[in-house]
Structure formats: C-alpha cells, structure tokens
Amino acid sequence: MCPATLLTDPMGASPSDVRDAVDATAANDLTHVSVWAHHLGALGDTLDDARRGLERRGLRVSVVEAALAWASGDLEASRAEGERLRAAVDATGASLVLAACMDPPIDDFSRARDALGALADAVAPSGATVALEFLPWSPVADLATAWSLVEPLGERVGITLDTWHWQREPGGPDIALLRSIPGERIVCLQLADAAATPSQELLVEAMSARLLPGDGVVDYGALLGALRTTGARPVVVTEVFRPALVAERGARDAAAAMRNAARAVLAATAR
C-alpha cells in the first residue's frame, strides 16, 4: 500500500493525517508500504523513531519515494539527494528508491543518465536499487524513454511500471517492448486503473481520478502475462490516487477497497 493514496490531500497532509493513513493500512492486514520520504517525519522525531512507529503497526517499508534531482543532470545535487534518501533506506530497510522527473525539460539526457547513476551509487551501499518511474506528462513519458535511460546503467537501476501511467503513455501500452526487457529490470509494479479516455489534464487525473484495479481498461491479463514471461518479480504496490473515494468511505474502508481490487486482478490473471 502507498499510504499517501489514503489522504484526501497528499501534498498538504498534516502529521495526524499521515498517521491515520498508516493506521488504516495496518488495519487491513497489509504488511509493507511505499512511503513518501517527507511523510516519515509524521511518524517520529527521527528516522529510527519512524521505523519503530511502523514496526509497532506491523509495517515495513519496501519503497521510499522519490528522487527528483537527477533529471537536472547535476551530479552533485543527485548525489546529495541520494545520501538523504539513503538515510531513510538505512533506517527503514527499504529495498527500492523511486526516481521520477516531475519538471520538464531534461536538457541533456546523457547527463541526466549520469546523474541517475550517481543517485544509484549513493544508495547502493545500503543495498537499495533505484526504480525509475515514467510519467506520461513528463520528459520521461513512456516505457521506451525510461528503458533508454536505465538500460546502460545495469541492475543498480530498474523501472517502476505504474499501470495508470502505462495506460496513458503516448501511443498506448507497448507490450512488445515490455516483453523484451529482462524481467529483473522491472523492479516495482504500481496497481491502479484508468478510464477509456482521459477525464482531464493528465497530472490532475493521475492524482485525483484513478480507478480501482479491474474497474477500467488496463489489460491486466496481457500486462501481467508479459511480466511472468520475462520472470519479473517486482515489488507490488497499490497506488490508487482518488481522494473522493477516501472522503466518501474513510481511509480504512478505502484501503480495503484498494487491497481487495488489487488482489482480485492478481488472482484472476494467475489462473
């Protein structure tokens, strides 16, 4: 579970809101979380306190989000951000550090790749892998662009495949490309669904109008079949940003709906 999805205002949530989202996660028999790094401060005065707070709830961190500085191509800034995120990894035991590009443009993809490598080097001593996520409104808009950045860097950097982003990437999902990528390089899979056509600006839709897995047009059979063919074993995270669902049902029931929908599509495609 990504507890940020259980907040009606993920960007402006108070510490008590974050704690409520984490409590809702734990109440639904979920044991691992993908956390926004700055939300850890809501769980304790130090990162170690945050870890203990999660452990008391029966939760462990699998993914820490998100590294952004690499896209500028500034090696020192990327290393510095990597060191800050490494501290979160050391405290929580996370295996993945998610990276993304939020602010266009990327002026130099070669330098951005080098900076992504610098980020990976910074977190590697803690045993973490960087997981690059493509966002359809950004310079890294699709799987092909993400793979062109990641492939030369080797296994220290993999790909996060968000199924909403996958459905909305320019040109639509590229199953043939996915089948060609070694399974070990798809390290994180985020589950949500999408309507047949965008309802609004992509960034707005991504943060407010995702559907529960199985309620939209994502072809989970083809997607998960391709991943199984390549031997991929990613960390799987529910990531259904839909604040109206949380407002209507409350965080605990919204978490249950997300959990049940995710488990249903995974079970259905495993047959």
Q: What pLDDT, on the 0 to 100 scale, is given for residue 271?
A: 64
Predicted pLDDT of residue 6 = 98
Mean pLDDT estimate for the chain: 96
Model confidence at 199, pLDDT cuts 50, 70, 90, reads confident
162 band by pLDDT with thresholds 50, 70 and 90: very high
Whole-model pTM: value is 0.96
**CB under 8 Å to 103, separation ≥6 — which residues?**
68, 71
Distance CA 119, CA 89 (A): 13
Say whether pLDDT at 46 is over 90. Answer: yes
pLDDT value of position 186: 98
Domain boundaries, the chain: 3-269
Interatomic CA distance for residues 133 and 150, integer angstroms:
10
CB of 225 closer than 8 Å to CB of 269: yes
For residue 218, is pLDDT > 70? yes
pLDDT score, position 102: 86
Contact 34, 98 (CB under 8 A): yes
Average pLDDT on 64-85 reads 96
**Dihedral over alpha carbons 264, 265, 267, 269 (to 10 degrees):** 160
Name residue 246's amino acid: V
The confidence score (pLDDT) of residue 165 equals 98
Please state which CATH class domain 3-269 belongs to: alpha beta
Q: How confident is the model at residue 104 (pLDDT cuts 50, 70, 90)?
A: confident
pLDDT of residue 3: 97
* Statement: residue 88 has pLDDT above 80: yes
pLDDT at residue 172, as a whole number: 95
Report CA 73 to chain centroid distance, whole Å: 22
Q: Are 202 and 252 in contact (CB under 8 A)?
A: no
Task: Give strand pairing partners of 96.
Answer: 63, 129
- Please determine, for residue 269, whether its predicted confidence score (pLDDT) is greater than 90: no
- Other C-beta atoms closer than 10 Å to the C-beta of 166 total 24
